[in-house]
Amino acid sequence: MTKQNPYDELLKAPPESRKRVGEHLYDLRYKDRAQRATRLPAKRRLKRIALFKAIIGRGHQCILELGCGSGDLTYALLDHAGEVVGTDISATAIEIAVGRKNLWSLSDEQIKKIVFKQMSAVQLDFPDDMFDWAVSTSMIEHLHPDDVDKHLCEVRRALKAGGNYLIWCPNGLGHHEDRIDHLTMWSYREWVAKLRNAGFRRFRSTMAARPPLVDARWKVILEAFLSRLHIKVMWSRLGVRNILLVATK
């Protein structure tokens, strides 16, 4: 008997049910991973966090992390803004993230700068023009494909004029193994088109896998070239296996 994929329920759910189904699925996911929350991130995750921090930079008023999970990146961005807000669809994830503040040796002033809220990434309960930056890492691929456009419009609405949205997710062309919870797997070309349709402009990515940022058309050209060559190893070395995009409002 074939084992049932629990994420099929989310993929097949009508729009009015997706939030409820998603909350349930990801609550179960984070309950299963609760033991990991007692440890600091692995070196690979810390390396990526350092990359995101370098791209975002310091001196901002307010930063939003979407799909914050256990809060590693949210905590790491505390010195980059006056306030950092982490959201996740899972109440369990938010509970874990709040409970992890003691891992980071934070001052009382730093703790006051951070806010965690349970919230769907498809319907953001924030006013217009609130954030300097929004960031989602390994989140957007979990959204239902039909919800992505609404998500992008909501993020753009919540960003200030000139604000930026940083996306990190698997490239649909990047030779990833099938993951049952990855409902949306698109290429650089497809993500740029989606973001442009939502009203974003000035699409940038890293030259390879690290700063500086350059025009994202470079990555669109690279993924098309590598797709024709069929050399899998080059995707990671050239920083194309995963999507890293910065789109500006």
* Predicted confidence (pLDDT) per residue in 129-167, tens digit: 999 999 999 999 999 999 999 999 999 999 999 999 999
Q: Give the count of beta carbons closer than 10 Å to the beta carbon of residue 215.
A: 12
Mean local confidence (pLDDT), 15-31: 95
174-230: per-residue pLDDT in tens?
A: 999 888 999 999 999 999 999 999 999 999 999 988 889 999 999 999 999 999 998
**SS3 of 78, please?**
helix
Contact, 64 vs 134, CB < 8 A?
A: yes
Confidence of residue 3 (pLDDT cuts 50, 70, 90): low
Confidence of residue 36 (pLDDT cuts 50, 70, 90): confident
Q: Looking at the predicted structure, is the pLDDT value of residue 49 above 90?
A: yes
Mean local confidence (pLDDT), 97-124: 94
224 CB burial (10 A radius; 0-12, 13-18, 19+): middle
Domain boundaries, the chain: 7-248
Reported CATH class of domain 7-248? alpha beta
Among the residue ranges 55-59, 88-92, 144-148, 233-237, the one predicted with the least confidence is: 233-237
Q: How many angstroms separate the CA atoms of 218 and 220, rounded? A: 5
Mean local confidence (pLDDT), 226-243: 91
Q: Give the count of beta carbons closer than 10 Å to the beta carbon of residue 124.
A: 21
Determine the pLDDT at residue 91. 97
Residue spans of beta strands (DSSP E) within 45-200? 60-66, 81-88, 114-118, 131-137, 159-170
